[in-house]
Amino acid sequence: MGAWRPGRRRGGTRVTGPTARPDRPADTDRRGDDRRPSGGTRGDRPARTGGWGDRAGSDRRGGRPGRPVRPAVDLPRYAAYQAVAAVHRDDAYANLVLPAILREQGLTGRDAAFATELTYGTLRQLGTLDTILTAAAGRDVARIDPPVRDALRLGAYQLLHTRVPAHAAVSSTVDLVRTVGEGATGFANAVLREVAGQDVDAWTAKLAPTMAADPIGHLAVTYSHPQWIVRAFADALGGDLGEVTRLLIEDNERPPVHLCARPGLLDPAELADEVGGAPGAFSPYAVYLPGGAPGDLPALANGRAHVQDEGSQLVANALATAPLDGHDGRWLDLCAGPGGKAGLLGALAAQRGARLTAVEVSEHRARLVEQATRGLPVAVLHTDGRTVGADPKLPEGHFDRVLVDAPCTGLGSLRRRPESRWRRQPSDLPPLTRLQRELLSAALRAARPGGLVGYVTCSPHTVETHVTVTEAARRAGVPADFVDARTVLPPGMPGLGDGPTVQLWPHRHGTDAMFLALLRRG
C-alpha cells in the first residue's frame, strides 16, 4: 500500500482488545451531520441525545430502543494516542515507542502511516495546539486530565492540520476520550467543536502576539517552538527573522529518511536502485529513502548501510578526509554511541588500513556501537572519554584523527525528534557545555602533534558551538589551530558562512543543523 496522505478517509479498523466492547455492536448509530461545527458552550456536557461526536439512541441492528451504543476506538488513532501519552507520561521517545506500538497492534501500510502522521504531527505542533485548546476550553491545558488532554491534542491536530473531515475528527476523538477518560466526552465534544470553528491561521492570528510587538513570541506561537529556542535560532542566524521563519517551517515538516551506503561495502547508486531511492545532494554516501520502514531493508540487516542523516555523514567524512601529514592509522571516536558515525568512520578506516577506537560511557550504547561496527576495524571501549591520559587505552598524544560528537541539547534535530523541543530547557545548557568543554579538551590531549580533532554537535546554539570550542581550545593546555572546515565539504555547497567553522541547516541544506569545527594540534 502507498503511504497515507492527510485527507484520506480512514478505514473502519477497530480495536479488538480490552478497549473494545464485544457485547455491543460497534459504530451502529453515527448521529449528527457532516457540517463543520462552530460555537459550543465551553465545559458544558451536552445531553446524550446523539449529538455530533457523541453516540446514543437505539441499537438499530438489535432493535433495542434506548440502549446506549459504545463504539470501539479507531485503531490507528489509538496507537497514536498510546505513543503521545508515553512521551508525556514516561518521558519516552516517539521514534522508539511508536514502532513497537505499531507492531503490537499489527498496523501496516496506510494505517501505520496515519498513526505515524498523527503522532509526530501532534508532537511538533504541541505548543500551538495547547495555546488553542486553552482558549477553546476556557482553562489552561495543564488543568485538564492528562489522558483527556492528549486525546484532545490528537483531535485538534486532525482538525487544524489534516484534511480529515471535521465530523470524523471530532467523533473519533470523543470515542477515544470515552475509552481513556470516562466522563469527559461532553467536555471533549464541546472543546473540539470550538476548535473546529476556525482554521489554524485564524486561531494563531487571534492568539499570537503581533510580529511588530513581539517577533519572538509571534514566531513561537505561529510555528510551535518554545520562545527560548526561537531566540537561540535567531542568535545563530544573525538576527535574520526571515531565515528563522524558514527554519521553523522546515522543523515542522516530516523529514525524509537518509541512508548511508558504507564505503567499500555498498555503492550508493546500487543502494538507491535497491530501495527505490535517490542519491543524496551532498554526501557521497547518502541515499534518500522515499518511504517505508528502513529496518526492513536487506542492506541494513546485513550491515552494508545504516540510517544516518546526511549532515552527520558530512561532518564525519570531513574529519576522515581532511589533509593530514604523517602517520594516519590511529583514529578515535570519543563519544561513539549509538554508533552511526563510528560505522561510517570504521568503513572508511577499513579502506585505508586504519583502526578506530570507539569510546562510549553508557554500557547500553556501547553495545549498540559494537552492533553497528561489527566486521569493521573498530575496538569499542566502555569508558568515559574524559579519562584520556589516565586510561592506558587512551594515551595522550597518540591518535591521528579524533572525533568528539558531543552530547548536546539536540536542537538541530527537532524535525526528527519533535518531543525534544518541549523537553529541553535553558537550564540544561550549563552542565552540557561544561561536559562539551571537558570532552573537547580531552580530545585535543589525545591527538598527536599535527593530528586533527573534529568537534561536532547536533545543535546550532552558539553556547554549544562557538563558545564551547573557543573556551575548550583555550583551556586544553595544548596548542591548537582552527582548520577551515569549508574546504573539506563538497565543492559548491551553499550557505557555509565565513568559516573556519561550519553550521549546516535544515532550510539551507536539507540536513539536521550540524555544527563542525576542525582543529589541528600544534
Could you tell me which residues are annotated as the binding site for S-adenosyl-L-methionine? Answer: 335-341, 360, 384, 405
Residue 219 · residue 210 · CB < 8 Å = no
Report which of 282, 318, 353, 334 is spatially closest to residue 511, judged by C-alpha positions.
282
Q: Please list the alpha-helical segments (H only) found in 181-236.
A: 185-195, 200-207, 215-222, 227-236
- Residue 335 neighbours by CB under 8 Å, 6+ apart: 359, 360, 361, 385, 403, 404, 405, 406, 407, 439
How far apart (Å, rounded) are the C-alpha atoms in residues 222 and 216?
10
CA 501 to chain centre: 25
Contact 186, 44 (CB under 8 A): yes
462 neighbors 427 (Cβ within 8 angstroms): no
* Secondary structure class of 521 (helix, strand, coil): strand
Contact 114, 141 (CB under 8 A): no
Query: Which residues line the annotated binding site?
Result: 335-341, 360, 384, 405
Cα–Cα distance measured from residue 108 to residue 102, given in angstroms and rounded to the nearest whole number: 7
Query: Which grid cell is 339?
Result: 554508533
DSSP string, 7-68: TSPP---B--STTS-TTS-TT----S-SSPP----TT----SSS-TT---S-BTTTTBTTPP
Nearest to 450 by CA among 353, 348, 500, 519: 519
Concerning whether 408 is annotated as a catalytic residue, the answer is no
Helix or strand holding residue 286 (H, E): strand 286-289
Q: Which residues contact 71 (CB under 8 A, 6 or more apart)?
A: 14, 26, 27, 28, 55, 175
Q: 126, 257, 406, 458: which one is catalytic?
A: 458
Active site residues: 458
